[in-house]
Homo-oligomer: A and B are copies of this chain.
Amino acid sequence: MATKDKPLEGLKVIDFTRVYSGPYCTMMLGDLGAEIIKVERKGLGDDTHFFQPIKGDESGYFAYFNRNKKSLSLDLKDPDAVQIIKDLAKWADVVVENFSPGVVDRLGIGYEDLKAVNPKIIYGSISGFGQTGPYKSKSAYDVICQAMGGYMATTGEKGGKPYKLGPSAVDGAAGIHMSFAILAAVLYREKTGVGQYIDIGMMDTAVSTLENFLVWYTLLGEAPSRNGNCNLGSAPFNTFDSKDGYVAIATGNNRLWSKLCKLMDREELLERPGWETNSSRKEHEYEVDAEVEKWTSQLPTADIVRMCDEVGVPAGSVMEIDEIAADPHVAARDMLVEIDHPLLGPVKYPGNPCKFSETSEFCFERAPLLGEHNDYVLKDILGMSDERIEELKAKDIF
């Protein structure tokens, strides 16, 4: 009995976000059916209109993260534009922004401004370091938060150069944590009638997603650092050289280690003194991994993965981006969906990873052109007269 509904149908969002963290948050809300009015700078729009990949003059970056959204272009420095936002705030349930702390208040569209016209508004702000604390005014891009939040310290070879994750991982983490927090606030408001302000700092979400690295230090007093692709607690659990590339193999317990030894035809390793447990193998990791690599280095990655799959040992190849795009599982999971666009044509974009049994009729609408929905917002949502719209257009605020 799948319905055509989406889970967030009816939720109304004013979206001031730009670039990645905020747009990922509102893309998640929009994919699930929320109505998103993206407010963009008059003339230029979101910075990502100029972000690669660009084809012709049109950005695939913008087109990906802004699907299922409507675009209102405005000169927010004009008092009439601020009034339009205040009128829109009466209609909205949620506002999301990711300007530097203080900017929305200076523009007159901060939490207190919009709460004054809609006391039940839920207002979410994403920033590099949050709205409080000694670094609140510090400028940030994702790489700064990967550096300061522990992602880089823990990635790369032991004693070697620290690496960031290629994609802007902290932007993504901050975005989805905000999507979650907004829905929690909506549920709270359903029960109590009380709206509220939500403050998410990117560095905080990095700290929140360090798994056991921080607790290792606070509990044991030793600070773990980067150490290649191995695991803090188990071995063999790493990437290994194969005949034609790399292969990841992970044995998190004795059962899997035993299966792997049988597969390698090295059952005598199960008897090796000091290699009896996860933790003791981890202590002898260098020797353990060397034995595994003796085997993997003789075989192509695809053969190793197939053999491991057959016996249930977790293994995988390091798939490059073009391999992921062509992967049958990615296709079967609808994780690449084609969306047409008047300027870009049909292009495949990542789908939504949340699969709902009753409400996953994800119908992805293309990203809007800049200001494409100005008339819709002014007339259909705000009920503004044609005369007033003409007056405002003459003032050149759109």
Within 8 A of B (CB), among A133-185: 133-135, 138-141, 143-156, 161-169, 171-174, 176-181, 183-185
Known A147-B239, A188-B359: A321·B225 in contact at CB below 8 Å: yes
- For A143, give its contact among B229, B328, B329, B332 (CB under 8 Å): B229
A110 at the interface (CB under 8 A from B): no
Cβ-closest chain B residue relative to A32: B184
Known A129-B329, A148-B317, A213-B167: A52·B246 in contact at CB below 8 Å: no
A313 at the interface (CB under 8 A from B): yes
Cβ-closest chain B residue relative to A233: B52
Known A353-B200, A353-B208: A162·B333 in contact at CB below 8 Å: no
- For A155, give its contact among B53, B138, B163, B210 (CB under 8 Å): B163
**Known interface pairs A111-B357, A176-B177; 10 further A-B residue pairs with C-beta atoms within 8 A, sorted by A's residue number:** A51-B212, A55-B219, A132-B332, A144-B314, A152-B229, A162-B246, A167-B211, A179-B180, A207-B336, A217-B321
CB-based contact B353/A172 at 8 Å: no
Cβ-closest chain B residue relative to A256: B139
Jot down 18 A-B pairs with beta carbons below 8 A, ordered by A: A7-B185, A24-B209, A51-B233, A53-B219, A55-B219, A60-B212, A61-B215, A132-B332, A139-B313, A141-B252, A148-B319, A154-B165, A163-B229, A165-B165, A172-B209, A185-B356, A197-B358, A224-B321
Copies of this chain held together in the complex: 2
A3 at the interface (CB under 8 A from B): yes
Within 8 A of B (CB), among A263-312: 278-279, 308-309, 312
A79 at the interface (CB under 8 A from B): no
A84 at the interface (CB under 8 A from B): no
Complex Cα–Cα for A322 and B218 (A): 8
A395 at the interface (CB under 8 A from B): no
A196 at the interface (CB under 8 A from B): yes
Q: Which 7 A-B pairs have the closest CB atoms?
A: A154-B166, A133-B332, A183-B183, A167-B211, A204-B353, A223-B322, A197-B357
A376 at the interface (CB under 8 A from B): no
Cβ-closest chain B residue relative to A188: B7
Complex Cα–Cα for A312 and B103 (A): 15
A8 at the interface (CB under 8 A from B): yes
Distance (Å) between the CB of A292 and the closest chain B CB?
A: 14
* Residues of chain B lying within 8 A (CB to CB) of residue A153: 166, 318-321, 324
Cβ-closest chain B residue relative to A135: B329
A95 at the interface (CB under 8 A from B): no
Known A190-B190, A352-B208: A154·B53 in contact at CB below 8 Å: no
Complex Cα–Cα for A5 and B220 (A): 34
CB-based contact A359/B248 at 8 Å: no
